[in-house]
Chains A and B, each alone.
Chain A
Amino acid sequence: MIKTEIYENALFETIKRGATEISPDVRGAFVDAIERETNPDARAGLAATLESMDMSSVRKNPLCVDTGWPIFYFKVGNRCELEGGFVELENAARRAVAKATRLGYLRATMKHPLTGYDPGNNIGMNIPDFTYKFVDGDSIEMSYAAKGGGSECFGGTRHRIVAFADGIKGIEKFVIDSFVASARAGAVCPPSVLGIGIGGTANVAANLAKKAACLRTVGSKHPDPMFAKIEEDLYEALNSLGIGILGAGGNTSVLAVNVEYAYTHIAGIACATSTNCMVARRASTRINSDGSVEKMQSPMWFGDR
């Protein structure tokens, strides 16, 4: 049985790491982008962003002032046992978010949707958000994603039902139209990690898109060549648009395009996009049944899809 103290500390450390340290895969994508970028102002902007992100790891301050919606993904072994059970896991996550806010690793960003009331600790109705996936085993993998307001609010999250008559062309047209509209003037903080969900009901597609944006390792490919081809074609298309960092021009508009899919109804193909900002904050930790804690370089959410 994994003790409350162990998973609560691990949750806090995961939040802190997600807020203050750039993931190695995102960092790698920045280094590559700086090498490839031909617009000198965009290149300087990418380099300044990377320099600032590297300083955050040392100063232990947030990578960006907007520390986003707090979102947790738990990949749970079927035989995993937690002291206090999963209700206590969620309570511990809330306590860890409040602590991280109090210590300045997170900004108090979550507000009541109607009154604007700010609890000052990022805790409120249905926030933080929790998603679970059950797998074989007895460990638990915890991923924290900080989904920024820019990428979420300014058209980065969209959906459309595409007819089978329009197929892949319809999907690709929807994605390109959506991205251009949302990246104007840098609204979604490009270069983006663009997640795309294809199939399922509209909410299934939207959830797949969010996971594709927040949990896929940047640089990974979908194992099915049909979907990998869509990722590759869209990556190339979007980087040819000239949007650039913060929309001010340049040839780095996306760091990654990640597609996930579900079977869909014969009547239509739900498609959704979820855009993650250039910082693409996340961190993951594994706790084994003996209570040992391991930092993970990447969420490893999709190993078995």
Chain B
Amino acid sequence: MAEYHLTSPLSEEDVRRLRIGDTVYLSGNAFTCRSRLQKYIFDEGNTLPFDTRERNLLIHNGPIVIKENDKWRLVSFMPTSSIRFEKWGAKSVREWGLRMIVGKTTMGEETAAAMKELGCVHASPRSVSPNLWIDSIEVEDVYLFDELGSIEAAWFFKINELGPFVVDIDSEGNNYFDRLDEQIDEHKRAALEKLGIGEDFKFTKLY
């Protein structure tokens, strides 16, 4: 499991070499979104008001940003759960030309298939450490603030060695958490056994 320091915009080559379990630190430019933005674009037929080809790193996140002396100040940042955006995941990868999505948890099979086809990965945080991250992030700009509100808007970030994140979906379609699930299931069987709950245990059906 290797460690990579990458700069966005990311190339296909940058992400094709990443494997699940690798650690990444990220620099360059990025943008944020949550579900309201994806719904606004993909379900409600609006057009994204910026170009993502030179900004192909998406961070699922609803930051706290306040305005001080006419400048944006990032108060807190933590990647949010990607799994709930699965509905629009493959579309986002395809239509926005993404190379990496950073978010808590992971994404589903459809997004993983699009990532494999087009060359994109998903990476997940290993801590809840907003204060170690906000110093690595500069707020550059914001789009759709009036339409979607502060949390759901698309924030443009300039980032510097933001991380560490673990690659949990690679461009071969592997999922780090699926692998881990197999081990967890084994441990679960042992833990239940220890409590006297065998594999033959069935809940009494009440309805």
Which chain A residues border B125 with CB–CB below 8 Å?
246
Q: Is B63 an interface residue (CB 8 A)?
A: yes
Q: Is A66 an interface residue (CB 8 A)?
A: yes
Within 8 A of B (CB), among A239-268: 240-243, 245-249, 268
Known: A65-B78, A237-B191, A242-B187. 16 other contacts (CB 8 A): A45-B127, A61-B76, A61-B131, A62-B64, A62-B75, A64-B128, A65-B130, A107-B151, A108-B149, A109-B151, A153-B81, A173-B197, A174-B203, A189-B104, A238-B191, A246-B124
Min C-beta distance of A234 to chain B, whole Å: 8
- A116 adjacent to B192 (CB under 8 Å): no
CA distance A153 to B81 in the complex (A): 10
- A51 adjacent to B177 (CB under 8 Å): no
Closest residue of A by beta carbon distance from B106 = A185
- A52 adjacent to B132 (CB under 8 Å): yes
Which chain A residues border B164 with CB–CB below 8 Å?
44
Min C-beta distance of A303 to chain B, whole Å: 30
Q: Is B2 an interface residue (CB 8 A)?
A: no
Within 8 A of B (CB), among A86-118: 104, 107-109, 116, 118
- B104 adjacent to A246 (CB under 8 Å): yes
Q: Is B105 an interface residue (CB 8 A)?
A: yes
Query: Which of B7-15, B93-101, B112-120, B178-186 faces chain A?
Result: B178-186
Query: Which of A2-10, A162-170, A210-218 faces chain B?
Result: A162-170
Which chain B residues border A176 with CB–CB below 8 Å?
188, 191-192
Q: Is B150 an interface residue (CB 8 A)?
A: yes
Q: Is A59 an interface residue (CB 8 A)?
A: yes
Min C-beta distance of B197 to chain A, whole Å: 5
- A245 adjacent to B150 (CB under 8 Å): no
- B130 adjacent to A52 (CB under 8 Å): yes
Closest residue of B by beta carbon distance from A150 = B81
Within 8 A of A (CB), among B158-179: 164, 166, 168, 176-177
Q: Is A137 an interface residue (CB 8 A)?
A: no
Residues of A with Cβ closer than 8 Å to B? 41-42, 44-46, 48-49, 51-53, 55-56, 59, 61-67, 104, 107-109, 116, 118, 120, 149-150, 153-154, 160-163, 165-166, 169-170, 172-174, 176, 180, 184-187, 189, 233, 237-238, 240-243, 245-249, 268, 277-279
Interface size on B, residues (CB 8 A): 52
Which chain B residues border A61 with CB–CB below 8 Å?
64, 75-76, 130-131
Residues of B with Cβ closer than 8 Å to A? 36, 61-64, 66, 75-78, 80-81, 83-84, 104-106, 124-132, 149-151, 164, 166, 168, 176-177, 180-181, 183-185, 187-188, 190-192, 194-197, 201, 203-204, 206
Min C-beta distance of A20 to chain B, whole Å: 10
Min C-beta distance of A205 to chain B, whole Å: 15
The answer to whether residues A59 and B204 also contact, given A64-B76, A65-B61, A108-B150 and a CB cut-off of 8 A, is no
The answer to whether residues A169 and B201 also contact, given A64-B128, A189-B128 and a CB cut-off of 8 A, is yes
What are 29 A-B contacts with C-beta separation under 8 Å?
A44-B127, A44-B164, A48-B129, A52-B128, A59-B131, A62-B130, A66-B62, A66-B80, A104-B75, A107-B64, A109-B151, A154-B81, A163-B206, A169-B201, A172-B195, A176-B191, A180-B184, A185-B106, A185-B124, A187-B83, A187-B105, A237-B191, A240-B187, A241-B187, A246-B125, A246-B127, A246-B128, A248-B177, A268-B206
- A241 adjacent to B191 (CB under 8 Å): yes
- B187 adjacent to A165 (CB under 8 Å): no
- B76 adjacent to A51 (CB under 8 Å): no
- A49 adjacent to B129 (CB under 8 Å): yes
Closest residue of A by beta carbon distance from B125 = A246
- B184 adjacent to A243 (CB under 8 Å): yes
